[in-house]
A and B are shown apart, each in its own frame.
Chain A
């Protein structure tokens, strides 16, 4: 295969001594899936994604990006060199066999349109502000990124005037290499998208390898429902139950009776194709890697509604989640969620030598919530220290008694109500010897008056559960810190957040204070500030602001809980400090 990167650049990188190919492949397992040379992958894509070329630490030598910055593949026959006007591009798109008119209309939220030129017009009108897919297997943003197009270049036009012939990658869910194994002759046909829909799809071959991308059976059935022999599925008991959870009390037989006798006439949905029909979304446009449980768990506002009937979440996605751009599986968030293989034996604990594995910090603004937190702490079955911060205006003797009864060696402090949970943690950290711990667990009594009680409850459950959910999980987490020196913070994937919201000014200040370099200023953090943090990072976050005077929260309204306070910025800076120090998140 011809390299997509100038070989001299690869040579330069390898000679620089700053690239560790073995480490890179281990660190980013998806590299192996591409079959590319690791250095080539790094120069082609890894560096653009902010990946590192070698295991970095605090004193990491920064790769000179100017020297080895990858050059874009030169396209001597570059069709985009001279771009036609929009009308020209629209005509090209309208003529494309792969244009999915219904799919485009669905994305635009408009009635179905049969005129391809009209669809192409609407497509380009909307494309100015949104990423619209003209075909389920053509993602313009993905295409631009992996094929190194310039921002001003039009992805569709580029594909249709040259890219298709080169069979450039078009969508993360269209694995060309895998598809060509089934249709080796397709290597010469040019437009693989059109080939797939005419051939692969009709033979019920998925566009991706199920061995690499899990595809759930109901989704697969719906995906191929348009070419299924015989009548489309009208009734699916699992789906009917989960889409209509008010009928959950019925047994299977009664449930089906209900559909045929009443549900159908009431317009109740009884299958995924029926749902897709309702919203004019062709079955083959359904993303094959959709996972209703992951969709629900990524969006805690859905968890209350669909906790017991996860397939019901599909109705949310099809009716609104899609157009809101909501992510629907962990792979979209994190590339992949690596199953943990760490385990913490007593021998491993003993080998941590002088360090206590865990220091648990609890900020207990609501002392009556100790009973909710305590069971999570009780899951820790090895040596740990417990520090609890209570607040001057809310502490109670009952809570103090209960804490001391359960944990006679606990350290309790009462502090002014300043800086919310962050202020409480900082108060507890005042006399802590950071070097004596492997990691810290941060917990607090969250009520979050700015969100609903149910939402807050689920949020809390997710936050606590990811770090202290069970004995085995806690041991896995500690083992992860001990065995993988790159893991800096462990938190709930459901609480992963990347929004600055109203904290731009605060973050700018903190970037200066913490000396966060530009490449580490992207926002990514555990929303809710409940996480496990490697000791070095905890120190890194604490030290620069150890004498900061946080604002009192007493007698403050709801506004105080919403973004804008310095503590909201500190909550976010954990992620930046972590990356600055050369560590990464482990999302659970």
Chain B
């Protein structure tokens, strides 16, 4: 079976990362053609996998101002060339592929990782047409919240939506976590040696590109409230990627705090994660970030807020799920109470490992695909 697996970009995290993992598992039984609308650092990883092809068709709205018709024409040409039997569109940001599938009568699945604001923005910008996206043979979602928003934005009514959630390869994460521990720096330029324990000071981590959506400013406020602990931002903070979007930079410039450290871009974030005592998701909105189950798989306690997005499905079962919206005061209350409790064992349970395992999830997904289209499971 020839499956065209469509990513909207090739960044190292989020939907592209989980899409790549899914596609790689599908490639064990099918001919998978991996296509991205935009190049990125994940390409080298993808090229090591067992895909028939890794192709970049530069149609991303972030760089290319192409009409929908011209984009669809390119997609149709490609799909006809490879004679695709099925198309897996891995995000609504790639839903312009839906129009091509409809025209060519190729069955396709649409996997929504986005939430309401983003879906609406993509539709308003003309990236895709609602009716095309809604005609997918199978709708998949990254979380219950994504499913809810996808349903309402695409006017899906009572159509079934398969909640894939997120899945990880715990073995690979564990293996990578044994890699070299990076260094982190604070506003004064002091280094935090993550490989060492600093006199019992607790270390709270967050991961991602520092921006408003990820709550970088909220994390900064939390650090300011808790000078007796260290706070570690794993990912871009003041490098070229984060500089234009990090709302905490002016705060830290005006009133620098020395217990907040950051790593900037890392190709392997897991050693830094593992070297922390608690993972606190400070995001204002985050559909279902992979880092939550990844941190759990490394034995890290994880706290999220339920109105942030779909991570509650993990933390309600295996971590700490705070009702309502994220706030620095509530984060502080939690971390203080958490560190005042007895130590416990955070080794991931068998139940967690079974539920987080992406292989099991893809197996379920393939069964759904078989029911909805012409893919043999």
| Chain A residues with a Cβ under 8 A of chain B | 389, 392-393, 395-398, 401, 408-416, 427, 430-431
Contact = CB atoms under 8 A, between A and B. Distances in A.
Given A413-B321, A431-B312, 13 more contacts: A396-B341, A397-B338, A408-B349, A411-B317, A412-B316, A413-B316, A413-B322, A415-B322, A415-B323, A416-B330, A427-B324, A431-B144, A431-B306
Nearest to B345: A401
A397 B342 contact: yes
Contact of A416 (B312, B317, B323, B341): B323
CB-based closest 4 A-B pairs? A415-B323, A397-B341, A411-B316, A427-B323
Given A430-B323, A431-B144, A414 B334 contact: yes
A401 B344 contact: yes
A119 B364 CA distance: 85
- Choose among A392, A401, A410, A427 the residue with the greatest number of B CB atoms under 10 Å from its CB: A392
Contacts of B162: none
Given A396-B341, A397-B342, A431-B144, A412 B306 contact: no
Interface secondary structure of B, over-half rule: helix
Nearest to B355: A409
Contact of A392 (B334, B342, B349): B334
B333 interface: yes
Contacts of B341: 396-398
Nearest to A412: B316
Given A408-B351, A413-B316, A431-B306, A395 B324 contact: no
B78 interface: no
Contacts of B321: 412-414
A113 B266 CA distance: 98
Interface of B: 144, 306, 312, 316-317, 320-324, 330, 333-334, 337-338, 341-342, 344, 349, 351
Contacts of B312: 413, 431
B324 A415 contact: yes
A408 B349 CA distance: 9
11 contacts: A389-B323, A392-B322, A395-B337, A397-B338, A410-B317, A411-B317, A413-B322, A427-B323, A430-B323, A431-B144, A431-B312
B322 A414 contact: yes
Contacts of A416: 323-324, 330
Contact of B320 (A389, A408, A411, A414): A414
B22 to A, nearest CB: 25
B113 to A, nearest CB: 18
Given A397-B342, A398-B342, A413 B337 contact: no
Contacts of B144: 431
A431 B143 CA distance: 12
A413 B312 CA distance: 9
Contact of A430 (B306, B322, B342, B351): B306
Nearest to B342: A397
A413 B317 contact: no
Nearest to B148: A431
Contacts of B316: 411-413
Contacts of A397: 338, 341-342, 344
Contact of A413 (B323, B330, B342): B323
Nearest to A426: B323
A395 B342 CA distance: 12
B146 to A, nearest CB: 13
A239 to B, nearest CB: 55
A410 B319 CA distance: 11
B163 to A, nearest CB: 11
Contacts of B344: 397, 401
B295 to A, nearest CB: 18
Contacts of A412: 316-317, 320-321
Contacts of A414: 320-323, 334
B333 A392 contact: yes
A411 B316 CA distance: 5
Contacts of B324: 415-416, 427
Contacts of A395: 337
A462 B331 CA distance: 38
B121 to A, nearest CB: 24
Contacts of A393: 333
A411 B317 CA distance: 5
B317 A409 contact: yes
Contacts of B342: 397-398
A427 B316 CA distance: 13
Contacts of A413: 306, 312, 316, 321-323
Interface-centre pick from B317, B323, B333, B342 (highest chain A CB count, 10 A): B323
A415 B334 CA distance: 11
A409 B334 contact: no
Contacts of A396: 341
Contacts of B338: 397
A398 B351 CA distance: 20
A389 to B, nearest CB: 8
A392 B330 contact: yes
Contacts of B334: 392, 414
A412 B349 CA distance: 16
Contacts of B337: 392, 395
Contacts of B333: 392-393
A408 B354 CA distance: 13
A173 to B, nearest CB: 53
B279 to A, nearest CB: 16
A393 B332 CA distance: 12
Contacts of B351: 408-409
Nearest to A392: B333
A276 to B, nearest CB: 58
Most B-side CB within 10 Å, residue of A393, A412, A431: A431
Contacts of B320: 412, 414
Contacts of B349: 408
A454 B330 CA distance: 36
A365 to B, nearest CB: 14
A427 B334 CA distance: 17
A410 B337 CA distance: 22
A409 B352 CA distance: 10
| Residue of B316, B317, B321, B341 with most partner-chain A CB within 10 A | B316
Nearest to B316: A411
A375 B341 CA distance: 25
B151 to A, nearest CB: 13
A414 B337 CA distance: 12
A140 B64 CA distance: 89
A324 B337 CA distance: 49
Nearest to A389: B323
A119 B306 CA distance: 70
B317 to A, nearest CB: 6
A416 B330 CA distance: 9
A370 B320 CA distance: 18
Contacts of A389: 323
Nearest to A424: B323
A415 B221 CA distance: 21
